[in-house]
Amino acid sequence: MTGAGSFISFEGIDGSGKSTQARLLAETLRNRGHDVVLTREPGGSPGAEEIRRLVLEGDPDRWSAETEILLFTAARRDHLEKTILPALAAGKIVITDRFADSTRLYQGITRGDLRGIVDRLHAMMIGREPDLTFVIDMDPGLGLARALARRGTEERFESFGEDLQVRMRAGFLSLAEEFRNRCVVIDGARPIEVVAGDVAAVVHARLDADLIA
């Protein structure tokens, strides 16, 4: 099969290597002749990139968890309408660095149990899951060290610290169980090329088996 219209997401704690692996997978698939759109959340369309600045910069207490759910979902809706759905309709492979699983965790469990609200809003406004999700798993201390080494202006979530990372890691592993038909857990604490090799092997196997279009 061609892989046309496949939707792949990367999830995991900050610093786990999602952006690196999303970029490498895009390169690998392009080299194989696929038409690939590489995108990210929050962001991925001009409107959603504006919302990204609102949610990632400034005081960690700037927004309540509920307001954040609305902002991330608004950004995702715009990303879906303007970038993801048109690309899938044109037969492209879309690779996104984070999608709705991030909201299920970051807004759903970190400040009380708001998962129900996240899910209801998702069903109403998004209603689409990736065909394949890579959960890049690793020790939270390592992820945080990598994320802090790369430190920029987008610190709102990273400044929540290692305790949050520990809960996030457990949360991502449990989401991978919950959505086991689309999620594959990858050990991210290995050299970049080794992780990329595992990711590419899964995608090639699925494309060859016609499982993600």
Return the number of the residue (20 or 110) whose C-beta is nearest ligand ADP: 20
Residues that bind ligand TYD (CB under 6 A): 14-15, 18-19, 41-42, 56, 72, 97-98, 102-103, 106-107, 147, 157
Return the number of the residue (114 or 186) whose C-beta is nearest ligand ADP: 186
Return the number of the residue (74 or 147) whose C-beta is nearest ligand ADP: 147
Q: Which stretch binds ligand ADP (CB under 6 A): 10-18, 46-54, 75-83, 172-180?
A: 10-18
Of 111, 120, 150, 151, the one binding ligand ADP (CB under 6 A) is 150
Peptide bond into 191 cis (omega under 30): no
| Contact partner at residue 17 from ligand ADP, ligand TYD, none, CB < 5 to 8 Å by partner kind | ligand ADP
Is the distance from CB of 192 to CB of 17 less than 8 angstroms? yes
Told to check if 169 binds ligand ADP by CB under 6 A, we report: no
Q: Cα–Cα distance between 96 and 8 in angstroms, integer?
A: 6
Told to check if 151 binds ligand ADP by CB under 6 A, we report: no
Of 192, 205, 208, 210, the one binding ligand ADP (CB under 6 A) is 192
DSSP string computed for 150-178: T--S--TTGGG-HHHHHHHHHHHHHHHHH
Is the distance from CB of 93 to CB of 212 less than 8 angstroms? no
Q: Cα–Cα distance between 125 and 143 in angstroms, integer?
A: 31
Is the distance from CB of 101 to CB of 153 less than 8 angstroms? no
- Give strand pairing partners of 10: 97, 134
Told to check if 105 binds ligand ADP by CB under 6 A, we report: no
User: What does the binding site for ligand ADP look like in residue numbers (CB under 6 A)?
Assistant: 12, 14-20, 146-147, 150, 188, 191-192, 195
